[in-house]
Every structure is written in structure tokens, then in C-alpha cells.
Structure 1
Amino acid sequence: MNQASPPVLKAEMDRLNTIAAYNILDTLEEEDYDNITKIASAICEAPISLITIVDEKRQWFKAKVGIPVRETPIEYSICARAIESGKDFYVLNNVEEHPDLNAFYNEINQLGFKYYAGVPLVSEKGIPFGTLCVIDKKTRELTENQIAALRVLSKQVLNMLESRRQTIAHEKTISDLTLQNEALEKFAMLAAHDIKSPLANIVTLSELLLSDAHIEKDENTSGLTGMIKSASHQLFNYIQGLIEYSTSGNTIDQDLHVFHLNDIKMHLKSIYKTYQDAEVDFDFPEDRKITSIRVVIEQILINLITNSIKYCDKPQAKIQVSFEEDEKTMFFIVSDNGPGFPDNLKELSGLFTTGTRQDRYGKQGNGIGLATVKKLAEGLKGNLLLVKTSPEGSVIRVNIPKSFL
């Protein structure tokens, strides 16, 4: 008894790599693909229609009409011969008369296949890897309209597969970037902790030297030591901010719970009541409860309030913190009487983005505070918006969608 010979397929590794990129083999049936084979069968008036993927040793059916199996050996694959033909439309009017397939016809063609017509599925890189085909039990010919419809349907299959490939690639990119960001944040936090300890020693030693210089009235040493102390403090604050930014995402993993806005107000008032050069007022509705992560809300507001106090150019910083809401969103609004934001900070965008001026205590900003607020807000699926800025003051609004809650 004659044995069917497997077709000799060129560029096999390219084909297998293309199939792997789609990650489609052995997936469950899907309605969108099933509908295409149903439409192809109806338009072409053929009892059998298949979306086939030609693997290394088999042809597998992503969708099928008219046959019970999900795959057949590649030795008996007409679709493999279709993609190897190089034609954009492959037809066999009588399968029984094909010299390579008479063994197929005699041995396993229990359904009595006679007619085959298929459009090869070709990737964007020009690699054929499967077909959309129709099969009949009688010899026949398709009309031009039926062939055109089969081509259109094959393009739809390719569009769905390409969309699937892009989604997989996109998800992998996101996963890779997430891992890289986690590793980078971990490294930054560890490095910052390692630097923080010896830097604290430098600050302490500079204070001792500065004290000795004052006693001995050595103005030159006093000036140089003061510069060392100032630079050390600035670097210390920078590193502390970097640690806070690196760990700020950890609070997002905490559970949601219900709490009074008044509890936040009382806590923040207790923090800022000792500030002689700042007045912080709250406009929260009485007895309003919200569902969120309290520690995240407090960190956001503390960063914004502290930032407003630090960079206020008036003798008395005045900050108003209010709460508003609509059906979909909660709004925390922080208004101040500061000098407004420099042009390069109006987007409230990035880590290490700073203005040119020092704060009211003579220290240069490091740009980490606002980046931390932005990161925390995004962790709640919200965002940070600069509503208004001028030399008379600024208004920043934190938008948190209730759908997240």
C-alpha cells in the first residue's frame, strides 16, 4: 500500500517562528474564528471549511466546519502543499487524481474529499504558515465572487492573528519593563541606603569643624566647612527623597478601607500646627466617609502641603486643602499663595525635574516630591493636574476615580 510522502517545505524555521509568535497552536475555539469558517462555508456552498496552521508534523485547525478532528498528520496535508506552491490561491479540482495524494485519498479520506480551494495565510514578513480553505465532496469550481470573498475572509484571519501577535509582544514589553523598573528601584533604594550612612558622618564632622572654626574665629575654615555642610545636607535630603520615592509604590498594595475625611484633616493639622510660617486650612465635608487607602491619600497631601510651604515666597504661607467629587471621581485640591510654578514644571511630569530657585530655607529642590505624588496618584488609577499657576499662587488637583475603589 502506498504511503503519502510529507511535503518538502522551504523556510521551515521561519514558518515555525512565525507560528510561535502568534502563540495560537492548541488554543481553544474562538467565536470570531469560527464565524469566518461558517461564512466561508456558506458563501462557497461547501460542506467543509477550515482555518489551518501548518506546524512541523501536523496541520492544526484553529476553526473548522464539517469535520470532527482538530488536526491531521502533515503527510496528508493539502494545506502544506498550498503554502509551498507560492500561489495566492490554490485549487485541486479532484484530490483523487493528485499523484502525491492518492494514498491520502485511499487510506484516510473517509469523508470522500474531492475538491479543495485555499488561500494561503501569509505573515507581514511574507512567510506562509497556514490557509483558509473550503473542501467539497464533489468536483466543482468556485465563482470569481466566491474566490474574492475567500480572499477577503483570509485577510480578516490575518488581521486577527496580527492583532494577537502585537498584543502578546506589547504584554511582554510591559512585563520586561516592569521587571527592569523593579530592579532599578531596588538598586536605587539599596544604593541610597548605602550612601546615607557615611554621608551622615560627613554632616556630623562638618558641624564639629564648623563649631571649632567659630571658636577659633577662623573665617576661611568656617566658610569652607559651611559649604561642605550645606552640600552634604542637600545630598542627604536628595537621597532621603530617593528612598521615599522608591518605596512609595509599596503603599498601593495595602487594602482599601472606609474612613472619615475628618480623620485625615485632624492628623494633618497636628503635623502642621507647629509651623510658625504657615497656615493650613481644610475644607472637607462633615461626616464624609470615603473608601480608599488612607496612607496613600495622606502621603499625597503631605507632599503637596510641604512643597507649598517650602517654596512659598511670602512671609506667611497660606494653604487651602479641599475635597470635591462627582459621580465618577474624587478631587483633592491644594491651593497656595506661593510664587507659582516655573515653565519646566508646569507638566508636573518627571522624577528629578526641578525649578531653578531654592526653597524658603535656602535649599535646592531635587524634584522627587512631585514625582512621588504623581506615582502615588497613578497607583490609585488617578492623576495630578496643575489647574492654575501665577505669581500669586497655584492650584493642584489630584483626581482619583471611584471606579478604582
Structure 2
Amino acid sequence: MITPALPANEAERLEALHRNDIMDTVPEREYDDITLLASRICGTPMALVGLIDDRRQWFKSKVGFEGEETRRDLTFCAHAILKPEETMVVPDALQDKRFFDNPSVTDGLKVRFYAGTPLMSPDQQVLGTLCVIDPEPRKGLDPAQLEALEALAREVTTQMELRLAKKTLAEKNADLEKLNAQKNQFIGMAAHDLRNPLQVVSGYSKLLSNNLLGALSADQGKVMESINRNCELVLKLVDDLLAISKIESGELQLDLQAADIIPVLRKNVELNGFLAESKRIRISFGADSESLPVRMDAFKIEQVLNNLIQNAVKFSHPDKTIDVRTEKKGGMIVVSVKDEGQGI
């Protein structure tokens, strides 16, 4: 028996093998289908997908064989990977000086015929072989069988590439989910920290505006009105940040109650009408029913509708109309906000 030599690029080859992180993994149908096809096409009772590390050959998939691994120095495949550009064929191992006294030939499997095609990684490192084995000697594989075996070997490496890509993608997704959770936590903390001092400022400004701390001049009243308006705007932005944080973290809770949605919509349209009138924009409201009872979180509905209408006002030109409508379609209530702006 001749002990197989090490490939000249052994260090790089082992690095490529370990990078695939496939050694000692569970059986997978994709590989088992390939070995089954190799066995059937080549007419051999045994077929293996064998991967070779520094000390052993481990079988990712096997047909007609019970072992999990074998010593590297005893395996035929360790010889096959020395010429990665070709399929190694051994018609009769008893007549081959490399294998005639190999334990796999003289004992156990009684291997006589072997054909192994190297498995090449994308960076042209040989990771192991797809091989077929027969306890009877054979002249070899016919051209069609050889072509099929080499095609199946390429499919093995394709499956390995897909497996590695899926693993890498799963790891990146896990990292993104972790970052997203940290972002939501930061937004929630920042929003809470901003809201408390803003509420204090808003409270004092309202005291001043209502002359509870002394009378204000006309100019002072205008200034306080501007402060109040901007406090409310910033508080709304902070509330939106809190809502986004809760939605993305799955912590948003809805206060669902039976109510009529029509008054909620009318009130929102009326409140936004003042802003629209300042830009010479008209908001119309229409409903196909006087009453539309639903289960809803009225506050959240007002928030969503308010954002839609305010965006419509913001991007509409003067003398245009914003149409807010609601109608019942099947078992659902549809609310639409249509404007004549430029769109996205």
C-alpha cells in the first residue's frame, strides 16, 4: 500500500474546507439524492460524498455503506484529490500497487472497482470527492457514465456553495435583527427622555398663554402661541417615535372598542380644515352611510388619519381639493385620502 502524499496547497485546501463549515453535519436530502443518482447511473452498489480534512475522510452522504468516516491514509479519495482536474478510475484494486494490500480491499468492503471525481470549491480548492465503488472489478465507466459522475460532482459543490450562502445570510439576518432591537430600544429611551422635559415646557407655556402668571402683551401672546404650537409639534414627533419603536418591537398594544368611525373621521377633517384653509386648500368628506360601527382604537385611527391628511395638505397646491372618503366593502371599512399633489 502506498500512503497518499499531501497536496502542495494543503494549507489553503484545509482552510477552504473549514470555511464551508460542513464537516460532521447532519445528513441532507440534497446530497443523498446525488449519491443515489451516482450509484444508479454508474451501476455500483456504493456511492459516497467524502470530504477530507487533515486526518480523516468524513462521509457527508453515502449509499450502500454504513461507516461515518475512515482514516485519511487508508482512503482511495486521498489519492484522487492529488489530481483535481481528472476523475481517478481504479478498474481492479488488487492489481494496483497503491491499493492491493489496503484494508478496504483485503478486508471489510472488499473494494475492487473505484471511480472518484474531485469536488472543487469556487476558489479551485479540492475538498473531497464524489466516488462510486464496486466489490467486483470493472473495465471502467463508459463516456456517458463518466460525464454524469463529473456533472453530479459539480452539483455537490453547488449545494455546498448554496448551503454556505444560506448560513451566511442567516447570520447576517440575526445581526440585523439584533441591531434593529438595539435601535428600537434607543429610540424608545430617547423618546421617553425627550417627552418629560417637553411636557414641562409645554405646561409652563400654557400657564403663561392663559395669563395665569400675569397678563401678556399682544406681542408676547404671539410668541407664546408660537411656543405652544412648536411644543405640540415636537411632542407629536416624539409620540410618533415611541409608536414606531413599539410597532417594530412588537410591543404596540391596541385599545380596541366598539365605536362609530364616522364622528372620528369628521372631527379629524374639521381640525385639519383650519390648516388647509390657510393654504387655500379644501378638504371634503364623504361616507356611504350615516353610521359605520367598528371595533377600533380610536386614538390610533386619529393618528394615522391625521398624518395622511397633513401630508396631503403639505404636498398639495393652493386651490386644490383633498377628498376623504369612507365606505364599506364586504366585511371591511375602507378609508381613503386622495389629494392632487405631485405624488411620490
TM-score (norm 2): 0.74
CA–CA distance in 1 between the matches of 2:106 and 2:100?
10
Partner of 2:33: 35
CA–CA distance in 2 between the matches of 1:72 and 1:223?
88
CA–CA distance in 2 between the matches of 1:107 and 1:41?
19
Partner of 2:178: 179
CA–CA distance in 2 between the matches of 1:63 and 1:205?
75
Q: Displacement of 1:230 after TM fit? A: 3.3
CA–CA distance in 2 between the matches of 1:312 and 1:226?
25
CA–CA distance in 2 between the matches of 1:253 and 1:72?
56
Deviation string 1:89-114 (CA, Å, 9 cap, x unpaired) is 22334434655545534787422213
Whichever residue aligns with residue 180 of structure 2, its letter is N
Gaps of 5+ in 2: 272-284, 314-318
Secondary structure of 1:42 counterpart: helix
Whichever residue aligns with residue 334 of structure 2, its letter is I
Partner of 2:199: 200
Q: Displacement of 1:161 after TM fit? A: 2.3
- Within-5 A mapping of 1:2-401: 5=3, 7-12=5-10, 14-96=12-94, 101=99, 104-105=102-103, 109-137=107-135, 138-208=137-207, 215-217=215-217, 219=219, 222-249=221-248, 266=259, 268=261, 271=264, 277=270, 281=287, 301-308=301-308, 310=310, 319-324=324-329, 333-336=334-337, 339-340=339-340, 342-344=342-344
Q: Displacement of 1:331 after TM fit? A: 5.9
Secondary structure of 1:215 counterpart: coil
Distance 1:209 1:48, change over 3 A: same
**Bigger Cα Rg:** 2
Distance 1:216 1:141, change over 3 A: closer
Q: Displacement of 1:235 after TM fit? A: 1.8
CA RMSD between the two structures: 4.1
Q: Displacement of 1:132 after TM fit? A: 0.9
Whichever residue aligns with residue 44 of structure 1, its letter is C
Distance 1:13 1:174, change over 3 A: farther
Secondary structure of 1:343 counterpart: coil
Over 6 Å off, 4+ runs: 282-288, 297-300
Shifted more, 271-280 versus 13-22: the winner is 271-280
Partner of 1:366: none
Secondary structure of 2:36 counterpart: helix
CA–CA distance in 2 between the matches of 1:236 and 1:285?
32
CA–CA distance in 1 between the matches of 2:9 and 2:304?
60
Whichever residue aligns with residue 326 of structure 2, its letter is V
Distance 1:275 1:114, change over 3 A: closer
CA–CA distance in 2 between the matches of 1:111 and 1:285?
83
8 A contact 1:277–1:317 mirrored in 2: no
CA–CA distance in 2 between the matches of 1:284 and 1:22?
66
Whichever residue aligns with residue 57 of structure 2, its letter is Q
Deviation string 1:325-369 (CA, Å, 9 cap, x unpaired) is 5xxxx8652124x5345423xxxxxxxxxxxxxxxxxxxxxxxxx
CA–CA distance in 2 between the matches of 1:231 and 1:246?
23
The share of aligned pairs that are identical, in percent, is: 24
CA–CA distance in 2 between the matches of 1:128 and 1:283?
73
- The size of the alignment, in residue pairs, is 323
Shifted more, 275-284 versus 17-26: the winner is 275-284
Deviation string 1:249-279 (CA, Å, 9 cap, x unpaired) is 455798xxxxxxxx86626457557668276
Q: Displacement of 1:13 after TM fit? A: 5.4
Deviation string 1:222-249 (CA, Å, 9 cap, x unpaired) is 5555444433332221111000111024
TM-score (norm 1): 0.65
Distance 1:25 1:287, change over 3 A: farther
8 A contact 1:308–1:319 mirrored in 2: no
Q: Displacement of 1:171 after TM fit? A: 2.0
